[in-house]
Amino acid sequence: MIRIGGILAVVIIISSIGIAFYFYSQETYREVVTSDLGEATIIGDVKFDIQFVATYEFLEKTKGFTDFEQTQIEQGLTEGTSETPEGRYFQIQITAENKGSETTTLTGGQFHLYDDKNTRYGAAFVGYGEDELSVIELEPNKAVTVTTQFDIPFDDEMEYKVGIVPNRFGLQTSQEIAFICIKNCE
């Protein structure tokens, strides 16, 4: 009787792992989109055009953001941002157009920079101006152009790609991720 119970328990465990894997695989990304410099890329209902702008050794915060940030630091809500990067700020311009019928959220956390060694860098919010990406509610049939930057050890000869990865804060319904070559593409 114990053998039958043990075998039944193992079968139930293996079955539940199989069922969980099936449902998990339905929720993961199914398609990887790759684009080259200048090509528009579509993720879900949003069409992206991403261009390299420049590199900077310093980006000055606006007075309004500096005052706001100081209040947040005093309240213990943030650590603050830096105008001076550890390496260089690699800045990109993002034009996003919502082709769908529902409002879509865009955040800096959905954009990553990859070098040719596949090192991943997250977007760095500095607070230098109104066109800097933080959180945007992109309405249907509307377009927006913003910039964001990455603090990287810049190499002028290296190939750089931007990765767009939907997350729980935006582009949630998308099943694709994208990689767009934007500098030194071959």
User: What is the pLDDT at residue 5?
Assistant: 78
Percent of the chain at pLDDT > 70 equals 90
More confident residue, 133 or 170: 133
Closest to 148 (Cα-Cα) out of 160, 131, 163:
131
User: What is the pLDDT at residue 170?
Assistant: 66
More confident residue, 186 or 157: 157
Q: For the segment 43-60, what is each residue's pLDDT rounded down to a tens digit? A: 888 999 999 999 998 888
More confident residue, 59 or 150: 150
